[in-house]
Amino acid sequence: MKGIYTLIATVILAGCLLVGRCHHPTPSVAAVEIAEGAVAAVEIAEGAVAAADGMVIKELVGAFDQAEVALQHADLEALMRFYAKDYNYHGLKRADVRRVWDEVFSHYGEVMSTHVFTEFRVVRTGSVKKAYVTCAGGLYGSEKGTGKPVIIDSWAGEVHSLVKERDGWKFLGNVDGASPVVPPASAPHHPLF
């Protein structure tokens, strides 16, 4: 009889753990993660391919982590610091993205994102350094009126374009057109990062 109660308790505990994993993430979950087996970062410099150093990857992850802190605090000013001065995503400029974030923060509370990076590409042309980070993830929150958890946005295989400016890595959009690692037929769908 004791064995049956142990079995029931184990099944209930396992069910709770599985159901808990199906909800949107909580702030205790890491916002940025490098997927196991992620493609090694490479740097394309003046036509040569060489291994990129781990510092660049650490800087890129750090930029996303800092943007996540601003996101979770609904700090629009701090979040906008992570957008390049020349940000352009298929015609959307910094002011457009600012309006979108303002709307997100006005309709949703507890906003947070997750990013699972699967590939890093860093391109250097002269003194300009750009990064293309392939990612899967989501933007989550709760409806302000009801508190109901919602998935605001999700993506898979998205390539985040960034540029290294004097004060760090910034979201760039696609100002130069398609990145050298994104198929031209890829549909743009995630302008916020």
Q: What is the pLDDT averaged over residues 153-161?
A: 88
Q: pLDDT at residue 183 above 80?
A: no
C-alpha torsion sign, points 157, 179, 91, 110: positive
Q: What is the pLDDT averaged over residues 147-155?
A: 93
Longest Cα–Cα distance of the chain, Å, equals 74
Q: According to the model, what pLDDT value does residue 159 have? A: 87
What is the 3-state composition of the chain as percent helix, strand, coil, each rounded to the nearest 5?
30, 45, 25
pLDDT bin (cut points 50, 70, 90) of residue 45 is low
The CA distance from 70 to 52, in Å, is: 28
The mean pLDDT of the chain is 75
Q: What is the pLDDT averaged over residues 81-85?
A: 93
pLDDT bin (cut points 50, 70, 90) of residue 15 is very low
Which one of 91-95, 124-128, 174-178, 186-190 scores highest in mean pLDDT? 91-95
pLDDT, tens digit, 9 for 90 and up, residues 132-141 = 888 899 999 9
DSSP 97: H
* Nearest C-alpha neighbor of 155 from the set 121, 110, 186: 186
pTM of the model: 0.72
Q: According to the model, what pLDDT value does residue 104 have? A: 94
Q: pLDDT at residue 175 above 90?
A: no
Angle at 58 between CA 140 and CA 68, to 5 degrees: 20
Domains of the chain and CATH, by start: 26-173 (3.10.450.50)
Q: What is the pLDDT averaged over residues 158-170?
A: 91
Higher pLDDT, 44 or 19: 44
Burial class (CB in 10 A: 0-12, 13-18, 19+), 129: middle
* Nearest C-alpha neighbor of 105 from the set 79, 85, 133: 79
